[in-house]
Chain A
């Protein structure tokens, strides 16, 4: 049963004009940004400065960040166009036990694979940055891993909203809102807690439970995974060191940061699994009424 649903989704996606157009636009933008950077780097070396490997590193970081951001931009659109035809086609599957699970699994697989395909299509552009910056294939592999993880995480949330929303617009808005709340929202929430704790303590000291809360809650923040990736490429990030430092957490320790960012990856996977389970539960929610 899984194969047939997966084949259905792949045929549908593969025969649609959307993916090639998306790849064209996506790679055009990346190529434009890359060419700009190459142009400026060339200008600076012609002006007599040494060829700046760090400049190419920055170029790679910006390109890879754009690629990661694109995952979160594409997901809400991916589910918002699914809405109408998919629901009516799904009416024909409703009486088959277990089909909701297979449909959701097939859809998330296709969402992740689509993003990976887009990433693979941009490899020639990325390697332009790698050639001059000395970035190894491992780093590109790491970028591949981050994009896979965020595709899974973002796709799960998008599918959840697709399952519970009656209209494409609601699914779109709900997905964007959830991304925002789980990233910026968590950061703001913890900042408010920190401020409240400092003002309540009277001595300007932070309660230890606030530090613990920051550590635990931020595990579920995808920004932490991104920071881990960023740090791996470029070393310590002052703004992040400062943010965690405000909570009394020293992220400069290699052991800590290695373990913490790995835990954040696991937490992202767990959140994805939870949202997928909820999607299956709500997919044909009339069944459970």
Chain B
């Protein structure tokens, strides 16, 4: 289990993450969503031990990530910005990380084979990194992330500017890793394929958690911030009176026959509001929430 306990991160005297409390179970595919890119990247860097939180602590299976000398062996991190020494071959590049992660010498060659097999890059084993197509370089970074078989994998914008085909390949690789029992934490913008991939998400805005849970529960909570739009064919005065008397109605806008309002209630309360309007004699032609896509909510 990965726990964030009262984690606050400052960067250049500016608060980037504010009092984050989160618990992630093993086996999760966790999404960090929201428009606050510095906060999400900082959370990932702190979770991997790359930076130390200014306050609070991050525990992996009870051990502090930043102060333990062995926790890093259970963590794999694919940063957003990375580069390679193009004079090295793929095998030499992997060898560096195998040594850094203290993988046994005899096992190294086999591990390189396994990783290249998973990524479908066996033909590039002895190639110089400079010769590899640019679209495959993110997979090279993925390869070094999983070399030491960590139980937790952290991805900071792994899809970058990938084409849909390579995005699907990356997701397939992540899926295979998850099936092997790894837990994944992914910072990514929303796109249709990843919606179905994530099991849990947290939405970070202004350094704070604004929603957490499954994609559906987050969607529900954001949907409530979407306005209700209705067309009133008769009884506008009665409609305005009913709306004003309701505590959950906010910011009513009238434009001819169209009424737009913000309503913080759930489905049940929405239905009750409609019932009240009809009972008050209001002729309602059209009554529904504006549909929204989750990625539109993130960037609102």
Tell me if A16 counts as interface (CB < 8 A to partner B). yes
- Find out whether the CB atom of A4 lies under 8 angstroms from the CB atom of B99: yes
Q: In the assembled complex, which residues on chain A have CB atoms less than 8 Å from the CB atom of B82?
A: 88-89, 91-92
Tell me if A203 counts as interface (CB < 8 A to partner B). no
| Closest beta carbon of chain A to B77's beta carbon, Å | 6
Q: In the assembled complex, which residues on chain A have CB atoms less than 8 Å from the CB atom of B11?
A: 286, 289
Stretch at the interface among B44-52, B119-127, B266-274: B44-52
Tell me if B297 counts as interface (CB < 8 A to partner A). no
- 7 nearest interchain CB pairs? A88-B83, A4-B99, A15-B87, A94-B50, A95-B48, A95-B49, A286-B51
Residues of B within 8 A of A (CB): 10-11, 45, 48-52, 54, 66, 69, 72, 75, 77, 79, 81-85, 87-88, 92, 95-97, 99-102, 141, 144
- Find out whether the CB atom of A8 lies under 8 angstroms from the CB atom of B96: yes
Q: A8's closest neighbor in chain B, by CB?
A: B96
- Find out whether the CB atom of B95 lies under 8 angstroms from the CB atom of A92: no
Q: In the assembled complex, which residues on chain A have CB atoms less than 8 Å from the CB atom of B141?
A: 92
Q: Could you list 8 further interchain pairs (A-B, Cβ under 8 angstroms) beyond the known A5-B100, A8-B85?
A: A1-B100, A8-B96, A11-B92, A15-B88, A88-B82, A88-B83, A94-B45, A287-B51
- Find out whether the CB atom of A95 lies under 8 angstroms from the CB atom of B50: yes
- Find out whether the CB atom of A96 lies under 8 angstroms from the CB atom of B72: yes
What CA separation (Å) do A95 and B69 show in the bound complex? 10
- Find out whether the CB atom of A85 lies under 8 angstroms from the CB atom of B85: yes
- Find out whether the CB atom of B99 lies under 8 angstroms from the CB atom of A91: no
- Find out whether the CB atom of B87 lies under 8 angstroms from the CB atom of A289: no
Q: In the assembled complex, which residues on chain B have CB atoms less than 8 Å from the CB atom of A284?
A: 50
| Closest beta carbon of chain A to B217's beta carbon, Å | 31
Given contacts A11-B88, A92-B141, A95-B75, contact A286 B50 (CB under 8 A): yes
Q: B78's closest neighbor in chain A, by CB?
A: A92
| Closest beta carbon of chain A to B88's beta carbon, Å | 6
| Closest beta carbon of chain A to B95's beta carbon, Å | 7
Instruction: Give me 18 A-to-B residue pairs in the complex whose CB atoms sit less than 8 angstroms apart, sorted by A's number.
Output: A4-B99, A4-B100, A8-B85, A8-B88, A12-B87, A15-B87, A85-B83, A89-B83, A91-B81, A92-B77, A94-B48, A94-B49, A95-B48, A96-B72, A97-B69, A99-B100, A286-B45, A289-B51
Q: A14's closest neighbor in chain B, by CB?
A: B87
Q: Which of A12, A85, A289 lies at the interface centre, i.e. has the most chain B CB atoms within 10 A of its CB?
A: A289
Q: In the assembled complex, which residues on chain A have CB atoms less than 8 Å from the CB atom of B45?
A: 94, 286
